[in-house]
Chain A
Amino acid sequence: MAGNAIDQTRRMLSLVTYLRERPGARVADVARAFGISEDELISDLDVLPLCGTSFRGGDLLDIDTDGERIWWHNPDDVAEPLRLAADEATALLVAARAVATLPGLREGDRDALLRATAKLEAAAGEAAGASSRLSVTFEAEGGVFADVDRAIAERRRLWLRYYSPARDELTEREVDPIRLFAVGHTYMEAWCRLSEARRTFRLDRVAEIKLLDEPADPPPIELRDLSDLSAGLVQTGAEDPEVVVEVGPGGRWVAEYYPHDSAEELPDGGLRITLRTPDPGSLRRLALRLGRDGRIVSPRGLADSARDAAQRALAAYGE
C-alpha cells in the first residue's frame, strides 16, 4: 500500500540516523524507541542494505542484524536528523495543544507539554505554520476529572450522583474507576457496584462526586479498543427492541446523532429511521423534542406514552 511505503520511508530515514549513533543497538530497544514491532523493524532492516547514498550506485548501506543486535559497518555522514514536514508538525502540535487544554490534566504533565510544544514550534520553523489551520477542543469537567484521576491513581472507590437523561433522574452509585478517555466529551469507564457491570459515565453528567476510603476492586476485564468505542459509545445488540421513527426534513439530524440500522429516504425529504435501543423508553424524550418534525411509528406503546406526556403537559397551560 502506498501509504505504508511513505510511512516506511520516513521511518527508515530516521532509523539510519538513529543507528549511526548506536553501533550494536538491540533490536528490541530500537523497535520500542520507534514505536514499531520487532517484525516491522526487521523488514526495514531487510530493505536498508538495498539502499545507497551515492548516485553512482554500488555504495550501499552495509547494515545487518543477527536478529538481536544491529550493526552498520560503513556509517555515512548522510544520516543527519531531518527537518519536520508540515503534516508532521501539524499532527504533533495540534494534538499537544488539545491535550494541554484538558482541564483535569496533572499540572506537571501540562507544564512538560507546554515546554515541549514551544520547543517543537521553534524546531519546526515554517513547517509549524499550517498547524494553526486545525484545532481541537476537548471538554472535561475540571473538578470531576481531577477526582476521577486521583481515584484511579490511588486505586480508590468513588461515590457518584449521576444523571440519566433517559429517565430524567439522578441515581447514586458506587463505582470502581478503570480509566478516563476523551472522545469529544470526556468519559470514565468504571465497574458499577450497583449494576455489577462495566459502565461508561460521561463526566458532564456527574452531578456530585466523592472519593471513598475503600480500595477500588474492579474484576479483571478486558479493555475495549478506543477506536471501536468512539464509533458508537452506546453498545446496542441485535436482541434489543427495534424502534421506527419517521422524521420530516427538519428532523434529519436524528440520523446524525443516533446510531441506527437503516435510514430510508421518504418522498417529502424526510427519513424513516430504524434503530435499536436497550431502553426504548429513553426515546420518549426524542419524540417530544421532535414535535412536528417527526414521530415514533413503532412500538405503539412508546408513541402512546409520548402523546400522553404531551397531553398532560398541555393541561398545565389550560389546554
Chain B
Amino acid sequence: MAIAKAERLMNLALCLLGTRRPLTKRELRESIEAYIEAAATGSGGGDEAFNRMFERDKDDLRELGLIIETVESVDGEIGYLARRDSNRLPPITLDAEEAAALGLAAKVWQQARLAGAASGALQKLRAAGMPLAEDPYDPQPAGALEPRIPVHEAAFEPLMLACRDRRPVMFDYRKSNAAQPEQRYVEPWTLECWRGHWYLAGWDRERAAERVFRLSRITGRVRLRAGAYTAEVPDHVTVRETVERWSGETATSTARIRLRSGHGYPLRARALHTRPLGDGWDELEIPYGHGLDAWLVEFGPDVVVLAPDELRADVVDRLRAVAKG
C-alpha cells in the first residue's frame, strides 16, 4: 500500500525544519520512506516519479506557510532547509475573550479551502498557547450570532488565488442582459462579497479600463495566464460603489409619487417627505436613481408617478408592455 500523503508531507516538513544545514534532494530521497518507495517502484522512471512528487510536496508545504530556502553549495548541488527563525510564529498573547472572538470568525467560511485555512490558523495559535474559550457545557450560548459567508460560485477559488498571486486570468463572462458569454482578459485586484454575492474588481485588458464582474455570471473555467500585470493596482478599489450604481442605489435627484395608503412600505421607509392627501392616497418624495422605474412598476395600480416627466414616461412604457400581455 502506498504511504499516505500526509505522512510523507509531515516527514519532509520535519526533516527540513530539523536540519541545521541544507539537505540535498539525494539526502531527502534516501531518508524519507515514501520517496525510497516512489523511486523504487517507478519502473525505470523512478527518478522522474520522485522529482515530480518532491516538487509538488514542496509547493504544498509552502501553501501551509513553510518558508523553504534553496541553497546552492560550492560544488553546485542544491540543498533545501526551513530555517527555524524564519518559520517561527512571532509571540502572540490572546486572552480568552479574544480567542472566543477569533473562534466565531473562523466558523464563518462556507468554502472548503478558506474554512480549512481558518481552522489551520486557529490550530497554530492554539499550539502557540491561545487559551480555550468556550464553556465545555454550553458550546452554543443563547443569542450567539451565526454569521456565514456564502460561496457558491465555482470561479471563487481560482480567482482568490489569482488575486493573491497577482496572476492575469481569462474567463467567459455573460453580462446580465447578454445572451452569449464573451471572453474577458483580466488582471484581478480584489474580490468582495456584498449582499451575499461575490464580485471581482480588476483591469480589463481589452477594454483598457477598470471593471467589476459578478462571479455568478462567469461561465466555464477561469484560466490562468502567464506574465505580469500591465496596469497599476490601485490602493482603493470601489466595488461597492459600482454595484450600488448598477442596482440604482446612488440617487441623483428626487421623484414625486402618489402611493395608496397602507401600501409600499419600502418606498415609505425611503421617502424624504410624506404628505397624506386625504383621499386614501399619500404623496411622497423619494430618491430617484437608475432602476427606479422598474421598482415602481412592481407596485402596479398602487403607485402613480407625478414627476419628473421622464420617469412618468418610463413607467407608462413598462406598464403598456405588461398590459398588452
Seen from chain A, the residues whose Cβ lies within 8 Å of a Cβ on chain B are 2-15, 17-18, 21, 32-35, 47-48, 50-57, 61, 76, 78, 80-92, 95-96, 98-99, 102, 104-105, 108-109, 112-113, 115-116, 119-120, 122-123, 125, 127, 130, 132-139, 149-150, 152-153, 155, 163, 165, 168-170, 179-185, 207, 226-227, 230-231, 249-250, 252-253, 256, 268-270, 284-285, 287-292, 295, 303, 306-307, 309-317, 319
Contact = CB atoms under 8 A, between A and B. Distances in A.
A96 B149 CA distance: 12
Interface string B43-73: 0000000000000000011011111000000
A98 to B, nearest CB: 7
Contact of A307 (B86, B113, B323): B323
A139 B97 CA distance: 24
Given A13-B64, A319-B316, 14 more contacts: A7-B119, A9-B9, A54-B15, A54-B31, A55-B23, A83-B67, A83-B88, A92-B105, A96-B105, A99-B104, A133-B189, A307-B325, A309-B301, A316-B301
Nearest to A270: B179
Q: Which 9 pairs of residues, A with B, have the shortest CB-CB distance?
A: A184-B196, A269-B179, A85-B65, A81-B128, A309-B300, A153-B143, A310-B322, A88-B121, A116-B98
A153 B297 CA distance: 42
B191 A310 contact: no
Nearest to B92: A123
Contact of A289 (B28, B266, B298): B298
21 contacts: A6-B60, A8-B6, A78-B14, A80-B84, A82-B127, A83-B88, A89-B121, A113-B102, A116-B102, A134-B192, A135-B190, A138-B147, A139-B195, A163-B265, A168-B299, A169-B265, A288-B318, A309-B300, A313-B301, A314-B316, A319-B320
A137 B298 CA distance: 28
Given A76-B18, A116-B94, A85 B301 contact: no
Contact of B90 (A47, A125, A230): A125
Contacts of B10: 9, 12-13, 47-48, 51
A250 B128 CA distance: 55
B160 interface: yes
A187 B28 CA distance: 54
Contact of A109 (B95, B101, B113): B101
Max chain A Cβ within 10 angstroms of own Cβ: one of B115, B129, B132, B148:
B148
A137 B240 contact: yes
Nearest to B65: A85
Contacts of B164: 86-87, 90, 130, 133
B145 to A, nearest CB: 5
B101 A116 contact: yes
Given A5-B6, A207-B269, A122 B90 contact: yes
Given A109-B101, A127-B65, A309-B300, A169 B117 contact: no
A82 B88 CA distance: 5
A134 B160 contact: yes
B283 to A, nearest CB: 14
Contact of B128 (A17, A153, A284): A17
A53 B18 contact: yes
A183 B6 contact: no
B89 A135 contact: no
Contacts of B240: 137
B312 interface: yes
Contacts of A227: 110, 148
A291 B294 contact: yes
A142 B193 CA distance: 19
A83 B322 contact: no
A80 B146 contact: no
Nearest to B180: A269
B252 interface: no
B117 A52 contact: no
Contact of A137 (B191, B194, B316): B194
B6 A83 contact: no
A287 B88 contact: no
